[in-house]
Amino acid sequence: MVGILGAGLMGKSIAVEIAKHGIDVKLLSAQRHLSASQLKEEIEKIVSRMKVVNPEEVFSHIQIASDYKEFEGCDLIIEALKEDLVVKRTTLKELISSISSNCVFSSNTSSLSINDIFKDIIPLENVLGTHFFNPPHVMKLVELSTLDQTSSNTINFALNFIKGIDKEAIFVKNSPGFVVNKLLIPFINEAAVLLEEKIASAEDIDKAMLLGANHPIGPLKLADLIGIDVVVAILKTFQKNNPQLKISPLLEKMVLENKLGRKTKIGFYDYVEKR
C-alpha cells in the first residue's frame, strides 16, 4: 500500500501511475475543501487522457483518504505537496503525530533538500527523494536522492518499487534541483528572458529548440506544462545558493497574474478550448 500526501496534478498523476500497476494507493488532499467526488472526477480525467485499457481496474486501486490515520499500515508514503518547505514540514508533523508507521517516506520535491524536509520529524534512515516527472505516465525517469543516513533497506525498497511501476532510477546527490531541474529550470528562465527582450516570439523560441536542438518540446511550452509558479519557486530556491541568479520579471509577473500554464488554461500559450 502506498500513501500519497498531496492531491495536486502530480499527486493525482503519480497515484494513477502506481494504481495502473496493480498497487493499492491512498490519496489524501492537503486542500480539505476538495470532496472525494471532486478528486475522483479529476482522476477520471487523468485516466482518460492516458487511454488506459481497463480504467475501472485502475480506479479500484485508488482510495481517497479523508484523514491522516488512514495512512497507517502503508509501506511507502510519498509527499507530493506544493514546493514550500514550511507547508511540507508542517503537514508531515501533523501526519506523523497521527500514525505510528515505520514505513519508507519519500518526497517528490523538485528542488528542496530531502534533509531539510524530513529532519527532526521522521528518522532519516527511512527517508529519500523520489522525484517523478510530469506527466508520470509518459516520463520514465525517477531521480532517487538519498542521505548518508538512508538505510540500504530503504534504498533497496525504493529501487524495487520504481522498477515495479516500470520506471528507471538514477542516483543523485541531495542537492537543490538534483540533475534535471538544475539544468532545465535556468534554461526555461533564459527562454523567458529572450521573450521579454523580444528577441523572438514564444512560438519561434520553442521552434528553435525543437528543430535546432532536437528537443521534443520547447522550453516555454514545457514551462506551461510544469506550471509557471513551480518554475519560479524552484528558481527562488536556486537563488538562495546563487544570489547572482536573476529571475525573469516576466515569469514573476505571470505568477502574480495567475497565468500559470495549463492548470489555469493560460500561460505562454492559451489552453482555453475553442468552441
d(CA 239, CA 245): 6
| Three-state SS letters, 144-194 | EECCCCCCHHHHHHHHHHHHHCCCEEEEECCCCCCCHHHHHHHHHHHHHHH
**62 contacts: CB under 8 Å, gap ≥ 6:** 15, 16, 19, 25, 27, 43
Residue type, 197: E
How far apart, in whole angstroms, are the C-alpha atoms of residue 147 and residue 210?
37
Catalytic residues: 110, 131, 143, 181
Q: In which residue are the cell numbers 493499492 written?
A: 24
How far apart are the C-alpha atoms of 170 and 154, rounded to whole Å? 15
Range 165-169 contact pairs with CB under 8 angstroms and sequence separation of 24 or more: 165/17, 165/18, 165/20, 165/21, 165/23, 166/21, 166/140, 167/132, 167/140, 167/141, 167/142, 168/140, 168/141, 168/142, 169/141, 169/142, 169/143, 169/144
Gap between the Cα atoms of 12 and 256, Å rounded? 25
